[in-house]
Chain A
Amino acid sequence: MSAGVGVDLENLWIRFGDFVAVRDANVNINGGDFFSFLGPSGCGKTTILRAVSGFLDPSEGKVLIGGNDMRGIGPNKRPTALIFQNLALFPLMKVWENITFSMEIKGASAKERRKRADELLDMIALPGQGDKLPSELSGGQRQRVAIARALCAEPDVLLLDEPLSALDLKLRQHMRTELREIQQRVGITFIYITHDQGEALTMSDNIAVMRAGVIDQIADGKTIYNDPNTAFAASFVGENNVFRGKIKQVMGNEAMIATNRSGDLVARISTANQGKLKEGDDAMMFIRPEAFAIAPDGATGDHFVTARVNHEEFEGNVFNIFTEGEGGKEIKVSIPNHGQSFQDHTGQNITLEYEAQNAVLVPAGELAAE
C-alpha cells in the first residue's frame, strides 16, 4: 500500500431541492490510488467531486479525507486540489504566476516562487515557458500547466474533473499516459472524473461506474470489463451485444437463458449475481464483439447464434460485421485482422460461435444510452 491519503465516502447523499444527485454512495479510495468515477453526463460524478473538494455540503453522510471528517471545512482548508474541466487558469497571470499561486497566498517571495515554478515546468516538460500567458499556450500545454498549478499546492488528493475532454483525440491519448506517469511519480491519490471509458480503463487502479446518482460497481478495470455487475455497467463500459431472455436453468456458475430470438444459449453468471439469479428471472446476456468467431455453416447448439448480415466494415485492425439483432439493435462482431483473406457476407446468414466463459449474465436492467 502506498503512503498517500485515502478518501472515504460514507452513506453520502446530495440533494438539490427534490432532485437527488447522489444516492447513498459508499466508496473507499486507497491512498495513492488512481481512482475514476465513470458515468454518462448528469450522473452525479461531478457533484461527488465538488463534495470532496468542499464546494458542496453533503445532505447526508460523510466525506472523510485521511480519516478526518471534512464537514464544515472549506475548500481552501482541505488537502485537495481540483483541476477544473475548463482548467480555470488565471488569464491575467503569467504561467509561472499561475503555477505558484498557492505559494503567493502563503506569502512566498517571488524568488522562491520562480524557483519552484521552474522545477514544475521541467517536470511537465515545458521548460522556459514561464513568462507566457496561458492564452499563448496550446491546449495540451495549458492542461499541463493546470496540473502543475494543482501539484504546486502539494495536495494529498488531486481531483480531476474531465480535464481531457476539451483536447483532440491524439493529445488525449498522449495525456492519458502522461497523467498516469505523473501520478506514479508524485504518489498522491488521484480522483478522476470522466465519461470516457477508455480514459478510465487505461489510467485507473479502480473505477466506480455511476448511473443517475447511484454507484453500480466499484472494481478494477479488468473486472468491470469482464465481469460487470449490472446491465448498465456491461453496456456502458466498452461495446457489448445484448440478448434478452428468461433464465431457463441454473447450472452452478453458468445458466441457460431462453432468448427471444436466438434460442437457448449458455453463459456465465457474473460474480456478483451468482446465487441471486434464479430460474424464471428476466435476464440479459452480454457478449463482446471480439468474443465471437465465425463458425461453419449449419453448426447448432447452446453457444451458436445464427443471424443475417446487414453490412460489413473494415476498420484496419478488425473487420466489423453487423448482423440483425434484437429490437432493431444490431449484433456487432469484430474479427481481428491477421492478414487473412476476408469474404464478404453481406445479405447472407452466418453462424457465430462463442465460449460460455466469455458471455456474461446479469439481471435485466437499464442499458446505457448509445
Chain B
Amino acid sequence: MKKSTVKTWLASSTAAAMVMLSGISSGYATEIKGAAFDAETLKSAEQTVNESWTRSTPEERKRLVQDYSNKVCSAYKDKPTPELAAKIKQFNKELINYPQEGIKLGDWKNGAKLARSGYGMRIGKIHPDTGKKPNGGNCYACHALDPNEPAAGNLGPKLTGYGARGTSEPIMKYTYEKIYNAHAFYACSGMPRFGVHNVLTSKQIADIMAYLMDPKSPVNQKLKMMQNLNRNPY
C-alpha cells in the first residue's frame, strides 16, 4: 500500500472514531439491547478478534477496528431498526467528500477496466497486493453492467442500461455519492464504501460513473445476439 493511502485511510478512520466519541457512540450500549446477538456474545467476539491476529502488525490490525456504522450493522445482522438505520445513513452521509473540480463524468474506457479489476488493498505476509497497479472497483464481482459481459455476479442489482437515467445534476450527485458511500442511502448495504476507505480516487469514481452513464459506454448498448453466441465467455 502506498504511504499516502495509509495516511488518508488513517485520517478517515480517525475521523470516524471522533464522530463515535462525540455522541453517537454514547448510545451504543443501549443500541445493542435489541440486537441479534446478546452483549456477552458481542464482547466475546471482540476479545476473540483481539487474540486472533497476534502475528499482524499494529498498522494492519487497524483494519479490524469497526466504526459506528459497521458496529451496529454487525450486531443487527445487517437488519437495523428503522431508527438505527436512519442514524447509520446520517453517519455515513457526513463521511462523503466531494471533488474540488465538481462531479463530472470521466473516461468510460478506463471505467470499464476498473469495473473488471479486483486488484488492490490486500495485506499480510502471505500474499499482499504490491500496490504497483491501481486499485480496482471490481463492480462485476457483484453487478451486471455491459449486457455483453456474461461473467457478472449477482450480489448487487443489475446496472445494465444505467445511463437511461440521464446525466442531470441530481443523478450525477447520487451516483457519485453511491459509489463513494453506499451506506449513506441503504443502511448496512453489502457494497464497500469505496470513497470512505480511499479504495477509489475521485478521478476513478468519475471514470466508473462514465462507464455507467456515458451513452457511448457498453453498459448502455443493446445485447448483441450474434456476437454473444459466437463468443467464448471464458
- Does B associate with A? no
